[in-house]
Structure 1
Amino acid sequence: MDDKFAFILPVMQVAFGVAAVLAGRWRVSSAGWWAGGFLASASGFAMPAIAFLVPLAGRAVLASGVFAVAFFCFGQALGEHFGLRRKHVWLRAGIALAATLISALGVAIDSLRLHLAASDVGCALLLLVPLLAAHGRTRRSGDRALVAISWVVVADCTARAVCVRWLASGGIASFPTSTYAFAYQVSGSLLGVAFAMAALASVMISVLMRYRDWAICDPLTGLLNRRGFDEALAGRGAHEKAHATAIACDIDHFKAVNDQFGHHRGDEVIATLAAAIDSHLPARAFAARFGGEEFVIYLPQGALDLAGAGIASAGAQLAEAVRRDFAQRMQRLLGRDHPVTASFGISAVAAGEASLEPALRRADQALYQAKSAGRNCCVVKSALAASGAMADAAAPTRAATLPA
């Protein structure tokens, strides 16, 4: 084992740990765990540096402990990155403790193979558990690269544990001159760099995605803003947009809510309507807060499984479900003595229309007509209907169809 070469590993790990600490300034939850993992790993690789302070057996036990801590941190970082956070934390903590104790037993009985195999199996399991839990959550290329290199690290640890019989023999004192030590240096150098680069790339992607979310999402409600709505709409195909419905809605007498309860409570009311909308959105539909208490919903054809219902009818049923849900939520928030409701306008894209804009304008017109009809109702406006009276417009709890 080349001691001069060996010191490259802890230096690299410290550098990656510091980089992760700096990345943590952007409030990426996984950055701290990556930093802890790399710094713990660096201390494990740096054990030869304290030979004059700690005997070989003590360094072996310390190394197995800090590597268990490092891989626990790596597993936690993976969990944070994929939104798993507290999942299997106690299981992994138990694996880390068991691996350390069994590895220490190997030192106590002077069995190098038991010491190394226990540490390698523990490290493999500490990464394997979050990797299995994160299955199906990799949506970006950076995520897939991180998962791929993590699987390679698991395979490397497993291979060393399986082959330790041929790579190491004798007692703990024979480790520095063993074939295992050389293989560990080589794989640690190559995979350590690749793993660290993938981890830091995942952190930076999270930072970029956070800034992107700030640019296209409304901070109060978590829904899209106008820019985000336009971007999401631009990503849909022409055929889908030609068979879609636009729904416009806003909160009735919202100024009175602010005047009576204050702007803080007004923000809660806006967030409550957003939550009601979001809870009823089917797949491929999306919603945006256009400003103030005004919201717009995009509903593609077929998003709601309503046999025999046209897309406008499906939009009316979605709007009615949101209207009822919002009214119930507001009763729980403010009580029955202070009812707060919302009005909705619905219009489908007509044949020959090249964009959603005409439907949005009609939905906005239908919304104003819902307000005129007494509020707390849903109005559908067709591009082809003739002028005439509105059916059931005054009924505040039913969807009504309004001719153009």
Structure 2
Amino acid sequence: MKYDILAGQSYERKFDYFFIPPVLFTIVSLTFLLLWHLKVTPAWQWAAGFAQTALGFVLSTFPLEPFFAAFASGLVFIGAAYCYGSGLMAHFRVQTRRAPRLVFLSVYSGLLALCVYWQQSLVAQLFLTDAGFALLLGWSVCLVVRKASRPIDIALVVTTSIVVLDSVVRVIFFTFFTNSSNDFGDFASSFYNLEVTVTTITICMFFPFTALGASATAAIERHRQAAETDELSGLLNRRGFWDAMSNNFGRSTPQGSVIVFDIDHFKRVNDTYGHSVGDRVIRSLAQEISRLIIPFGHAARFGGEEFVAFLPRSSVAEARAIAELVRASFAAKDWRTHGLTYTATISCGVSFKEAEADLGQAIDRADAALYAAKAGGRNRVMTEEIASASTTIDTQRAVG
């Protein structure tokens, strides 16, 4: 049984709630525009999408000319779906897939023109608009769903999915279970328009606010990472290292090994070749540390040419082997491509931290082993045991 609820009931424009969606979406659009201008969010598409949604409600509910309003609102709503999808993919850093989506928009625009100006069917236009909106935005959701890990990002995916589901349910119900008017002039006072307005005010308004929340959270995360990341090397800085220890291990850092790296004769590099070459040498060491250390632990640039790594639950022998890999790989580079006429090398110090011991003290011991490696000729790895033994022998020789 079908119900004649699209045409045959009159909902006059005097109801104030018809004004609510365009006003709300305009406010959200302006908010996103401000956030984009302040570089809080990198995606201007959010502002464009919500602005188009506001315009679509104005065109469809308060039309100047029915056929133009039907065609224009269809284009505006599908444009909003495109921008929402772009905003989602920018937020989750997923490839935007512009080409297939633009092809979809082209096909949709042609079909919309046929529905409005050739078939002159309101039912076909509404079906096409809702179905196209759901398909375009739903595809974007499928592309980003696996990237959602934070609660606010999961909420964004869920609320976007609800918007898609709302379009799917509406297109099925009003196409197959109602006797719908095909007169474009009937849309403004139709039950369809009322349903869109009510669901937008209630269910779908969660979508823009979760988008705002997700964008704000991402901005805070970016600022936090910027504060904890060394800009030159891309590794953690000293503050970021200690925050990582606290976040990952709390007050009880497990036993493991510490490695301290230092570039040999780095002052000579800066003085002879300039700071730009020195920066390239630092980045080169950071790349080797990222490749060989990060999979097993945490690493940071503590300042200047000194780097520190902590390998939880690793023995001194394992840490020394990894340090040797970093040292050998660094020395084996073709330094001529970096602007050097000689081979750059590093010295490394290794210490072991017991479960109950202080990590800072272990770093100090590794630093002492590093200086022993420097004193022993550089371009080598020295453990704290060997460094202590060497110090003892030198002292005995001095006394003797």
Asked if Structure 1 and Structure 2 have the same fold, meaning a TM-score greater than 0.5 normalized by the shorter chain, the answer is: yes
1:334 aligns with 2:345: no
Q: What SS does the corresponding residue of 2:145 show, helix, strand or coil?
A: coil
The letter of the residue matching 1:151 is S
Give the stretch that moved more between structures: 263-272 or 151-160.
Answer: 263-272
Q: 2:100 aligns with which of 91, 99, 118?
A: 91
4+ residue segments displaced more than 4 Å: none
| Aligned residue among 170, 179, 196 for 2:191 | 179
1:358 alignment counterpart: 361
Tell me the distance in 1 between the aligned counterparts of 2:212 and 2:261. Answer: 42
Q: 1:178 to 1:328 in 2, by over 3 A?
A: farther
**Paired letter, 1:356:** L
Tell me the residue number matched to 1:170. 181
Whether 2:221 is the aligned partner of 1:209: answer yes
Query: Pairwise mapping of residues 4-403 of structure 1 onto structure 2 (< 5 A)?
Result: 4-48=16-60, 51-52=63-64, 55-84=65-94, 86-108=95-117, 109-165=119-175, 166-167=177-178, 169-171=180-182, 172-237=184-249, 241-283=253-295, 285-301=297-313, 311-329=315-333, 331=335, 333-334=337-338, 337-350=341-354, 353-382=356-385, 387-388=389-390
Structure 1 stretches of 5 or more lacking a match? 302-309, 391-404
**For the residues of structure 2 that align with 1:122 and 1:256, how far apart are their CA atoms?**
64
Counterpart of 1:99, as a letter, is Y
Unpaired runs of 5+ residues, structure 2, are: 1-10, 393-400
2:397 maps to what in 1? none
Q: Per-residue deviation at 1:104?
A: 2.7
Q: Structure 1 vs Structure 2: percent identity of aligned residues?
A: 33
Letter in 2 for 1:74: Y
Cα 1:318–1:258 change in 2 (3 A) is same
Alpha-carbon contact 2:41-2:219 (below 8 Å) kept: no
Instruction: Give yes or no for contact 1:225–1:288 (8 Å, CA) kept in 2.
Output: yes
Checking the alignment, whether the CA contact within 8 Å between 2:60 and 2:73 is kept in structure 1 is no
What SS does structure 2 have at the residue aligned with 1:290? strand
Partners of 1:286 and 1:191 lie apart in 2 by 44
Residue pair 1:345, 1:378 contacting (<8 A) in 2 also: yes
Distance 1:336 1:256, change over 3 A: closer
| Whole-Å separation in 2 of the counterparts to 1:119 and 1:206 | 32
Tell which deviates more after alignment, 246-255 or 317-326: 317-326
> How far did 1:201 drift?
0.9
Alignment deviations for residues 140-193 of structure 1 (CA, whole Å, 9 cap, x no partner): 111111111111111111111222223562313332233322211111222442
**Distance in structure 1 (CA, Å) of the matches to 2:108 and 2:303:** 55
Q: Which deviates further from its counterpart, 64-73 or 89-98?
A: 89-98
- Given that 1:327 and 1:340 are in contact with CA atoms closer than 8 Å, whether structure 2 keeps it comes out as yes
In structure 2, what residue type is equivalent to 1:95? F
Q: Is residue 246–residue 297 contact of structure 1 (8 Å, CA) maintained in 2?
A: yes
Secondary structure of 1:295 counterpart: strand
Aligned-residue Cα RMSD (Å) equals: 2.5
Q: Is the 8 A contact 2:351 2:362 kept in 1?
A: yes
CA distance 1:386–1:214, change in 2 (3 Å):
closer
> Aligned AA for 2:283?
A
Alignment partner, residue 304 of structure 1: none
2:5 aligns with none
Q: TM-score, normalised by structure 2?
A: 0.86
The alpha carbon displacement at 1:81 in A equals: 0.8
Q: Indicate if the aligned counterparts of 1:112 and 1:168 stay in contact, CA closer than 8 A.
A: no
Counterparts of 2:250 and 2:145, CA distance in 1: 33
SS of 1:218 mapped into structure 2:
coil
Amino acid at match of 1:387: A
Using the TM superposition, name which of 158-167 and 356-365 deviates more. Answer: 158-167
RCO (CA 8 Å, sep 6+): is it higher in 1 or 2? 2
The answer on whether the counterparts of 2:162 and 2:204 sit within 8 Å (CA) in structure 1 is: no
